Structure 1
Amino acid sequence: MTEGVPDRGAAAVQRALDGRHDVTAQPPPPPPPNWRASERALRLGTLAVVALSAALITGRSWVLALATAPLALLALALPGGPRSRTVTAEAEVEPRRCFEGERVTVRITVSYDGETGRLDPGVTLGHGVRLDHLAVGPHRVDLVLTARRWGRWTLGTVDVDLYDRGGLARRTVRVDLGEIAVFPLPGHASLTPIPVRLPQRLGEHTATQRGEGVEVTGVHPYVRGERQRRIHWPTTTRRGTLQVHQFAAERTADTVVLLDGLTDVVDPVTGTSSLDETFRAAAGLVRAYLRTHDRVGVVSVGGTTRWLQPGSGQGYFYRIVESVLEVRKDRAYRTEGLGLLPPPALPAGALVYVLTPLTDQRIFDILHHVRGRANPMVVVEIPVGEPVPEPGDTEAALALRLWRADRDAMRFALKERGIAVVTHRPGETLDLALAPLLRTRVHGGTR
């Protein structure tokens, strides 16, 4: 895309691209399994050592009295004191599946024998959550987290320090909070454009064929066996013969949402991610078609090709979303190569929505593959920001012009092939982008 651009100009373009790294959340080193001196014991020990050293240096015996109190308290931390031998901790996380912005509650129950002092938790969270509240009791630790971004995230770990009654020794037990699945917030969408040809299944879309629907398409002469209440009396009076209403058949549609996960373009000004907006728009599109009782499938490309065969039902929405959550797991998504689309993922005649930021030329290989199957196709562009060159940097400004020209060339090439291209801008309803498609039905390609 930036071939032939000077290095500094290409760097200005590449600063807008993110997601080509594998950044996985790593837990901290494991804590020691046994009792050990606490911070208080270390402070007392330091005070005793300083007092003894001062007595040796000055030669004054009364300075030794300053070390008496710290040494007496440290005696409580010697082995064999009243400490818990068995310490266990269990975590309850509710819910394990949620949407962006929803809260997740965690309760850690600590069990131990004998008498102890206080609990002191140390929380290490994963990338996709934020800590909002922390409460500590005698036997439990409560956390309230907020899911920030969609994906399959590792919640992190909590190291609970258990202190003895004197606070001079501590023991640490680690609790792994596991993973949660955070669904993207569906974008608002209610329009459901349909292709020219629909499968022979009953549904809610008006087909071009005659059938038992509710939309009147004309009148025709009465045939014996037709319902008499469908007689159109004004036309019958005019023509002198019985005329009845003619209705259009109602059919369902097959829709496949193809997600471009090859790159993640981040707006340098607002921080908006094209991958986030792509999946939110896809979730809204899937929900809109499922509400009209259509069959919807999903395909995600970028690294491992994931797909789910078209199905129907409101519960199918969660299956579709969960099938693509692995694209982002602890901010790790890979883009090495493309996999072939299996035939069951693209049924014959299914309307294919391709949601892409149009920043990677490899998406054209996928579009050519879909077009070769004669599936009607709509490309929904997600334009999330553009590189911002530094003031006075002429090379970066030239790179930006070439970057814009490259995107214009992509759109022109798609339209020349007869592919509908619409633009969905973040923050707007998806219906604004899909409204022009209602003027006519989406046509398919030729084999």
Structure 2
Amino acid sequence: MTGPSLPEPRSTEPESTAGWAPTPALGRAVLLAGLLLVTGVLLGRVDLVVLAAPFALGTAYALRRRPTTLPQVWITAGDDAPLVEGGDVSAAVSVGNPDTVDYDLVVVRSRVSPWLRISRAGFAGAAAPDAPTADASPAAGTPAGTGRSVADRPFVTSVPAAAAVDLELAGRALRWGRHPVGPAGARVAAAGGLLVSRAVLTDAVGVRVYPRTEPFEAVEAMPRAAGLVGAHHSRRPGEGGELAGVRIFAPGDRLRRVDWRVSLRARQLHVAATLSDRDAEVVVLLDVLAEAGRSGGVDGSASVLDTTVRATAAIAEHYLHRGDRVSLLEYGPGARRLRAAAGRRQYLTVLEWLLDVRADASQHEPYDQVFGPQQLSSDALVVVLTPLLDERSAQMLARLARGGRFVVAVDTLPANLTPPKDRGWAEVAYRLWRLDRETMIGQLREHGVPVVRWAGAGSLDQVLRDVARLATAPRVGSR
């Protein structure tokens, strides 16, 4: 891109020659011209003076217009469209020349997050006719997100006066999160390569990559529906779409509810009774006490956090689309929470909230910090996404169940988790840990906490039916 309009420079240098230094080429030219002139005068040799003249005149001609300001560098991260895992990402590192002289050589380099696989990079615009481009296809067997990107090298171009050029970066986003593009820097050579600027750096710009929502559907069964409107059928009579039966007409019933067939047969007015439609509150609890497995990006293996974040996005999208209210909680030292709400705005807020999910081990018990007074509705369905790697997670599930909550535990531990390869007792210890974990899951089920492995659509169907059925039975719990 070229143009006369440039943003304000980030550098605090005054508009002077500060920040510019002579290159070794200038030193060699001055030294050679001086030696030839001095030798020619001392020895009285005119040929040496004539030989020194081109070096002296060339250096003076190149320095006739010296740059006074440093270059400007800034980063632009793509467009405003939401970026999802596996989507195309684009960014540009721009170098501007606010001076009145041309920059003969500009070297630009930028750091890029390894989760942004940059496959094409090159300059655009009339100022960079020889802009380099490259293709970065990962070698066979290279895990996604770990290979060398084409952005991990310097790029060279030239910038005319009062113009700017863009180093365009294009590739693919491999994993959810906030990924930096930058910091970036540029150094400039001017005056025929006799002067070089100091490195001008700019801060990184974050690129937001939202988690890919896996296809997810679940049955309509809910333990309790507490709202006034929604898609779930409650057990209370009211104005809804689910037929509850036929009863005798009573004062206040609407005429459109009259069942004429039954009325004519019974010779008395009867109306169709319906169940009210009510919304439910779904609380998704993210266990962030531990991380396990290796993340391979959108096309590779999934770690615990990958499964947790993507499953949360899928569950939230499903229930928000049905008109329910969804809230998020973190079971960890941070105890972050997102209040319950409904609608598309809440879904976008959920995606933004998930970008900051991090595993954070802690020695203290976070239960009281997460579940404070009146923080969790008694009618809410609590979906806990946990790898069950910490004993405190199992204790938290048991306490919720004993408190009369409707709890569903979703196992997010990767199924392909491999045992350690070290010699000795490592493999035996791994097997013992697996047995201990299975025992803990069995104990949770005995306490009334269903534990199911996340498998996308249909993962929670049977569990939700069981929880809804148990909700209708008398329960005894301590609060």
TM-score (norm 2): 0.71
Q: Give yes or no for contact 2:222–2:232 (8 Å, CA) kept in 1.
A: no
Cα offsets for 1:79-108 (capped at 9, x unmatched) = 886224243233333347632233132352
Which of residues 173, 184, 191 in structure 2 aligns to 1:158? 184
In structure 1, what is the equivalent of residue 167 of structure 2?
A: 142
Q: CA separation of 1:440/1:362 partners in 2, compared to 1, >3 Å: closer, same or farther?
A: closer
Structure 2 segments unaligned to the other structure (5+ residues): 1-17, 37-47, 128-158
* Partners of 2:185 and 2:53 in 1: CA distance: 31
* Partners of 2:374 and 2:96 in 1: CA distance: 50
In structure 1, what is the equivalent of residue 418 of structure 2?
A: 387
- Cα offset for 1:237? 5.3
Calculate percent identity across the aligned residue pairs: 27
In structure 1, what is the equivalent of residue 235 of structure 2?
A: 208
* Partners of 1:230 and 1:115 in 2: CA distance: 85
> How many pairs are equivalent?
393
Output the aligned Cα RMSD.
Answer: 3.7
Larger CA deviation: 68-77 vs 199-208: 68-77
| In the alignment, structure 1 residue 106 sits paired with structure 2 residue 92 | yes
Q: CA separation of 1:246/1:87 partners in 2, compared to 1, >3 Å: closer, same or farther?
A: same
> Which secondary structure state, in structure 1, belongs to the residue aligned with residue 440 of structure 2?
helix
* Partners of 2:54 and 2:281 in 1: CA distance: 78
Q: Give yes or no for contact 1:44–1:74 (8 Å, CA) kept in 2.
A: no
* Partners of 1:418 and 1:85 in 2: CA distance: 71
Q: CA separation of 1:151/1:368 partners in 2, compared to 1, >3 Å: closer, same or farther?
A: same
* Partners of 1:288 and 1:305 in 2: CA distance: 24
Alignment of 1:170-209 (within 5 A): 170-171=196-197, 172-191=199-218, 193-209=220-236
Which of residues 39, 60, 66 in structure 2 aligns to 1:82? 66
Give the structure, 1 or 2, with the largest relative contact order (CA under 8 Å, sep 6 or more): 1
* Partners of 1:266 and 1:245 in 2: CA distance: 55
* Partners of 1:74 and 1:254 in 2: CA distance: 79
* Partners of 1:256 and 1:353 in 2: CA distance: 6
Which of residues 328, 333, 336 in structure 2 aligns to 1:298? 328
Structure 1 segments unaligned to the other structure (5+ residues): 1-32, 53-63
> Which secondary structure state, in structure 2, belongs to the residue aligned with residue 319 of structure 1?
helix
In structure 2, what is the equivalent of residue 120 of structure 1?
A: 107
Q: CA separation of 1:126/1:69 partners in 2, compared to 1, >3 Å: closer, same or farther?
A: farther
Q: CA separation of 1:400/1:164 partners in 2, compared to 1, >3 Å: closer, same or farther?
A: same
Q: CA separation of 1:142/1:373 partners in 2, compared to 1, >3 Å: closer, same or farther?
A: farther
* Partners of 2:243 and 2:419 in 1: CA distance: 55
* Partners of 1:77 and 1:411 in 2: CA distance: 82
> Which secondary structure state, in structure 2, belongs to the residue aligned with residue 244 of structure 1?
strand
| In the alignment, structure 1 residue 317 sits paired with structure 2 residue 352 | no
Q: CA separation of 1:170/1:226 partners in 2, compared to 1, >3 Å: closer, same or farther?
A: same
> Which secondary structure state, in structure 2, belongs to the residue aligned with residue 315 of structure 1?
helix
TM-score (norm 1): 0.76
In structure 2, what is the equivalent of residue 11 of structure 1?
A: none
Q: Give yes or no for contact 2:73–2:94 (8 Å, CA) kept in 1.
A: yes
- Cα offset for 1:390? 4.0
| In the alignment, structure 1 residue 256 sits paired with structure 2 residue 256 | no
In structure 2, what is the equivalent of residue 35 of structure 1?
A: 20
- Cα offset for 1:296? 0.5
* Partners of 1:360 and 1:70 in 2: CA distance: 78
Q: CA separation of 1:406/1:215 partners in 2, compared to 1, >3 Å: closer, same or farther?
A: same
Q: Give yes or no for contact 2:19–2:70 (8 Å, CA) kept in 1.
A: no
In structure 2, what is the equivalent of residue 334 of structure 1?
A: 360
* Partners of 1:387 and 1:213 in 2: CA distance: 51
For 1:205, the aligned partner's letter is H
For 1:317, the aligned partner's letter is Y
* Partners of 1:114 and 1:362 in 2: CA distance: 66
Which of residues 339, 346, 351 in structure 1 aligns to 2:381? 351
- Cα offset for 1:126? 3.2
Q: Give yes or no for contact 2:453–2:459 (8 Å, CA) kept in 1.
A: yes
Cα offsets for 1:107-141 (capped at 9, x unmatched) = 52413212231322111223442333323343222
